[in-house]
A and B are shown apart, each in its own frame.
Chain A
Amino acid sequence: QVQIVQSGPEVKKPGASVRISCLASGYNSITYAIHWVRQAPGQRPEWMGWINTANGNTKYSQKFQGRVAITRDTSTRTVYLELMSLTSEDTAVYYCGGTRCSGGTCSSGVPYTWVDPWGQGSRVTVSS
Chain B
Amino acid sequence: ESALTQSPGTLSLSPGERATLSCTTSQPVSSNFLAWYQQKPGQSPRLLIYAGYSRAIGVPDRFSGSGSGTDFTLTISRLEPEDFAMYYCQQHETFGPGTQVDIK
Contacts and interface: CB of A to CB of B under 8 A. Distances in A.
B45 A113 contact: no
Given A47-B93, A61-B93, A114 B47 contact: yes
B40 interface: no
A118 interface: yes
Name the interface size band of chain A: 10 to 19
Chain A interface mostly helix, strand, loop or mixed? loop
B57 to A, nearest CB: 8
Interface string A88-128: 00000001010000000000000011111111110000000
Nearest to B96: A44
Contact of A116 (B33, B47, B98): B47
Given A44-B97, A44-B98, A61-B93, A114 B50 contact: yes
A45 interface: yes
A119 B44 CA distance: 7
A115 B45 contact: yes
A46 B88 CA distance: 11
Interface string B27-55: 00000010101000000111100110000
B68 interface: no
Interface string B48-83: 001100001000000000000000000000000000
B44 A121 contact: yes
B50 A112 contact: yes
B12 to A, nearest CB: 19
B92 interface: yes
Contacts of B95: 44-47
